[in-house]
Amino acid sequence: MKAEDDVLRALEAVLFIADEPLPTADLALLFELPAGEVEALLGILADRCQAHGRGVVLRRVAGGWRLATHPDTAPYLERFVGEHRAGRLTQAALETLAIVAYRQPISRIQLAEIRGVSCDAVMRTLLSRGMVKEVGRDQGPGQAILYGTTTYFLERLGLDSVDQLPPLAEFMPDAESVERMESGLGPGL
């Protein structure tokens, strides 16, 4: 059996980095431990967060476990976000918005397939900022929600319609593959 402290440390690191709630089953798979044992470790981690007066708490939410800021810290966070946090667009948000713009209407599953990671957190940002919206339902089984860009998105970009987005061909191959070609790296390198 792995040293408990090592697993606890890694467990916290994984939860720290993750952008989405992590199901117990995923964590069990990652650490190659029975689900029951993982739940017990998560319990220990949650207790420690409390006992040590930490600024983050471990919460069980729909879909799994996630680290979140302690509710008491909210006033400071609001002030910090309003004044200090550089209002920067994350790479993930820009990329997701770009895919929706060019491939709309598109479902979250299709988005995740293209990006290779779940886009739920990013989509929440884009939805709450009014850049994308629900535009319909997939006809197939499951009837997934389909998303598209908003009028506000077009306004921000100074476009009349999405047809005015430049053809992608102009922007391909991307910078890195051009660089690979210029520097002579073959495929797989």
Partner 1 sequence: MAYAVKLDVYEGPLDLLLQLVSKERVDVADISISTVTDEYLKATSALGEVDLETASSFLVLAATLLELKSLKLLPQKSAPDPDLKMLLEERDWLLHRLVAYSSFKAAATRLSEEFDRGAGYHSREAELPEELIPEAPDIFRNISVGQIAAAAARALGPRQAPTVNTSHLTPLTVSLDQMVREMSRRLSRASRSSFRDLCADLQKPEVVVSFLALLELYRAESVELEQSQPFDTITVTWRQPPPRGSQ
> Is residue 170 a contact point for a second copy (CB under 8 A)?
no
**Residues of span 130-149 touching partner 1 by CB under 8 A:** 131
Alpha helices, H only, the chain: 4-17, 24-31, 35-51, 74-83, 91-103, 108-115, 120-128, 151-157, 175-183
Distance of closest approach, residue 61 Cβ to partner 1, in angstroms: 9
**Residues of span 5-34 touching a second copy by CB under 8 A:** 5-6, 8-20, 22, 26, 30-31
**Residues of span 62-81 touching a second copy by CB under 8 A:** 67, 69-70, 72-73, 76-77, 79-81
- Candidates 38, 45, 67, 146; binder of partner 1 (CB under 8 A) is 67
- Candidates 41, 106, 111, 122; binder of a second copy (CB under 8 A) is 122
Please work out the total of residues on this chain that contact a second copy, with binding judged by CB under 8 A: 63
What would the DSSP string read from start to end of 74-123?
Answer: HHHHHHHHHHTS--PPPHHHHHHHHHHHHH-SEEHHHHHHHHSS--HHHH
User: 146 pairs with which residues across the strands?
Assistant: 107, 136
CA–CA distance, 85 with 100 (Å, rounded to integer): 26
User: Could you give the angle at the alpha carbon of 50 between the alpha carbons of 47 and 51, nearest 5°?
Assistant: 85
> Is residue 158 a contact point for partner 1 (CB under 8 A)?
yes
Element (H, E) at 57: strand 56-61
> Is residue 3 a contact point for partner 1 (CB under 8 A)?
no
Q: What is the DSSP letter of 167?
A: P
**Residues of span 17-56 touching partner 1 by CB under 8 A:** 17-19
Distance of closest approach, residue 34 Cβ to partner 1, in angstroms: 26
Neighbours of 123 (CB within 10 A): 19
Contact positions vs a second copy (CB under 8 A): 5-6, 8-20, 22, 26, 30-31, 48, 52-56, 67, 69-70, 72-73, 76-77, 79-86, 88, 90-93, 116-118, 121-122, 124-125, 127-128, 130, 175-176, 178-180, 182-183, 185
